[in-house]
Amino acid sequence: MKADQTGHIKKLEWAISLCQRDLNSWRPGDWLNFTDELEDFCSLGPGRLRMGSSRPISKQTALKVQQELRKLVQTCVQMGQRPDEPASFDDVLNLPMIRVQLAGELLIRGNGSSAFRKEIQHADKIAHARYSFAAHLLDSGITAAQIKSCPECQRTFLVRRRPRADREYHCSLNCARLAATRRYRKKHASKLKTIERSRARKRYVQKQRQKFGTQVKIGKRG
């Protein structure tokens, strides 16, 4: 993975995280951070592109940006759930897609010592965020299958490496452990039931001896 691709992936991870945050619980400091983070997200190159205002973004605008990014992320999840190759032309037409209407100004910057870089300037922050998401998606080098919904908690997350078809992926180590525990219990249900019966028997015997003395005779329960 190239260094510039890693930068785009980090910005996609920020967008995915934003989609799942509760903006209604934010404090004033969170809104200031969000203004800077959104500007950073909308910068398509290595530096930060100012969006024209350093004032905090309104809650209404932030909610609209979040809603728009949610739609885009969900479309990516749907793309990743499709078969590798469409079976027919009709399948191609029915594939989910991301549609971005180009507007504003596309700027190309460069100098003698670095590669050309592109930037977009747009007065509408929602359209700006939509275009930036699409640009990071294209420049990240990832596939649609790398943006997944966790089968354990349903959170959306990005897998850094290309996923294998024969593996199940989770958003966190905790979710992976919960899923592994559930699979183990299902696979070894009979064995675990026998172990639990033995433990229950020991607990019962201990309780009866504490109540009636160590010499009490305890038969097996029906």
- Give the pTM: 0.73
What pLDDT shows up at residue 92?
Answer: 56
> Is residue 144 located within the same domain as residue 95?
yes
85/169 same-domain check:
yes
Domain shared by 119 and 221, yes or no: no
Asked whether 131 and 119 are in contact (CB, 8 A), the reply is no
Is residue 211 a part of any domain in this protein? yes
Q: Does 81 share its domain with 169? A: yes
Residues 192 and 169 in one domain: no
| Positions of the chain with pLDDT lower than 70, given as ranges | 1, 3, 45-55, 83-95, 102, 192, 219-222
- Considering the domain architecture, whether residues 114 and 87 belong to the same structural domain is answered as yes
In a domain, 127, yes or no: yes
Amino acid at 207: K
Helices 59-80 and 3-19: crossing angle in degrees, nearest 10, is 110
Structural domain includes residue 158: yes
Position 174 scores a pLDDT of 94
Residue 95 domain-assigned? yes
Residues 56 and 18 in one domain: yes
Q: Are residues 45 and 106 in the same domain?
A: yes
Q: Answer yes or no: do 128 and 210 share one domain.
A: no
Residue 61 lies in a domain: yes
Question: Do 118 and 152 fall within a single domain?
Answer: yes
Q: Which domain holds residue 208?
A: 188-222
Looking at the fold, whether 136 and 196 belong to one and the same domain comes out as no
In a domain, 181, yes or no: no
Q: How far apart are CA 153 and CA 172, in angstroms?
A: 10
- If asked whether residues 143 and 64 sit together in one domain, one would say yes
DSSP label at 214?
T
- What integer pLDDT is reported at residue 49 of this predicted model? 46
pLDDT at position 111: 79
Q: How far apart are CA 34 and CA 40, in angstroms?
A: 10
* HSE toward the beta carbon, residue 67, CA cutoff 13 A: 7
Model confidence pLDDT, tens digit, residues 87-107: 555 555 566 777 777 677 777
What are 174-216's pLDDT values in tens digits? 999 998 888 777 777 777 677 777 887 788 778 877 877 777 7
Beta bridge partners of 10: none
Cβ atoms of 133 and 69 within 8 Å: the answer is: yes
Q: Look at residue 180 and tell me if it is in a domain.
A: no
Q: Residue 179 falls within a domain, yes or no?
A: no
The domain tally of the chain equals 2
